[in-house]
């Protein structure tokens, strides 16, 4: 049953990724990217990687989607025609990178293999046998992230939060600049406009108008 769920989720991931590539509507692409992250979180949950699933759902489907929507608020929602050109060199680079990543996984141990090197480390046995008594948390992964690696988890959270705040501040600064430039453009006078203080205040001798500086 687990293999069927894995196959279904991988098929949905591939379908969504292909749809994102083919889309020209950037808003729809951002929404599908959030769906892709949620599907990835579901796949990680099925594979018993709950901590990775939680991070993917919070960062991938949450913060990343908000930041991309904020970026779209300052740009157009449609892909520009000049950027919609076929780039065979980019396609070759992506294919080579994917092949390299796939080649790097060939010598990895099988999923769930009890003889994998990581399972033979002494610290794993200590976590499995003593974490419940020391921390009173039944989930070993949660115990490791929340207690044994608590400072590391706090540091990672701080980095993600700082990055999100920095991007939001940058987007806000860009929006303020656009508003200022918009007001400056609306307030500009025509080159041949005459200032109001130099307009005529009444008839003068000889038909000329008297100017008031």
Domain boundary among 85, 108, 131: 85
Looking at residue 110, what is its pLDDT?
Answer: 80
Asked whether residue 6 is assigned to any structural domain, the reply reads yes
Taking the C-alpha atoms of residue 51 and residue 142, their distance in angstroms, rounded to an integer, is: 7
Q: Clarify whether residues 64 and 131 are in a common domain.
A: no
How many domains does one find in the chain? 2
Residues 147 and 77 in one domain: no
Q: Does some domain include residue 193?
A: no
Indicate the residue among 41, 68, 85 that finishes a domain: 85
The answer on 126 and 76 residing in a single domain is no
Domain termination residue (choose one: 85, 106, 126) = 85
Query: How far apart (Å, rounded) are the C-alpha atoms in residues 45 and 6?
Result: 11
* pLDDT at 137 (0 to 100): 76
Q: Is residue 210 part of a domain?
A: no
Beta bridge mates, 25: 78
Same-domain status, 16 and 59: yes
Strand, helix or coil at 199? coil
Residue 152 is assigned to a structural domain of this protein = yes
In this prediction the pTM is 0.55
Statement to judge: residues 124 and 50 lie in one domain: no
Q: Check residue 179 and give its pLDDT.
A: 61
Contacts of 128 (CB under 8 A, 6+ apart): 140
pLDDT at 86: 67
Residues 66 and 144 in one domain: no
Q: What is the pLDDT of residue 167?
A: 75
Predicted local distance difference test score (pLDDT) of residue 211: 46
Residue 77 resides in a domain = yes
CA 170 to chain centre: 14
Question: Could you tell me the residue range of the domain that residue 136 belongs to?
Answer: 116-188
Sequence-distant contacts of 163-166: CB under 8 A, at least 24 apart: 164/63, 164/67
Three state DSSP letters for 163-191: HHHHHHHHHHHHHHHHHHHHHHHHHCCCC
The secondary structure of residue 106, as a DSSP letter, is: T
In tens digits, the chain (213 residues) has pLDDT values of: 677 888 898 999 999 999 988 888 888 889 999 999 999 988 888 887 777 888 888 888 888 888 888 888 877 777 766 555 667 888 889 899 999 988 988 888 887 777 887 777 777 777 878 877 888 877 777 778 778 877 887 887 788 788 778 777 777 765 666 665 566 555 554 444 444 444 444 444 444 444 444
Please check whether residue 197 lies inside any domain of the structure.
no
104 in any annotated domain: no
The answer on 78 and 121 residing in a single domain is no
Count, residues in the chain: 213
CB 53 within 8 A of CB 12: no
């Amino acid at each position: 049953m687990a293999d069927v769920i894995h196959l279904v989720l991988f098929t949905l991931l591939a379908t969504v990724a292909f749809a994102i590539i083919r889309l020209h509507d950037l808003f729809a692409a951002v929404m599908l990217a959030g769906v892709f992250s949620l599907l990835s979180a579901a796949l990680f949950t099925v594979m018993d990687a709950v901590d990775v699933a939680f991070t993917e759902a919070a960062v991938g489907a949450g913060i990343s989607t908000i930041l991309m929507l904020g970026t779209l608020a300052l740009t157009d929602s449609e892909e520009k025609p000049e950027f919609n050109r076929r780039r065979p060199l980019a396609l070759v680079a992506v294919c080579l990178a994917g092949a390299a990543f796939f080649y790097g996984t060939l010598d990895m141990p099988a999923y769930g293999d009890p003889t994998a090197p990581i399972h033979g480390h002494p610290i794993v046995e200590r976590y499995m046998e003593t974490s419940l008594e020391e921390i009173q948390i039944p989930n070993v992964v949660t115990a490791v992230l929340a207690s044994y690696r608590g400072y590391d988890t706090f540091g990672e959270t701080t980095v993600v939060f700082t990055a999100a705040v920095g991007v939001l501040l940058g987007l806000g600064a860009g929006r303020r600049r656009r508003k200022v430039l918009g007001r400056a453009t609306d307030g500009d006078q025509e080159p041949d406009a005459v200032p109001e203080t130099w307009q005529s205040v009444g008839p003068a001798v000889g038909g000329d108008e008297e100017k008031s500086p």
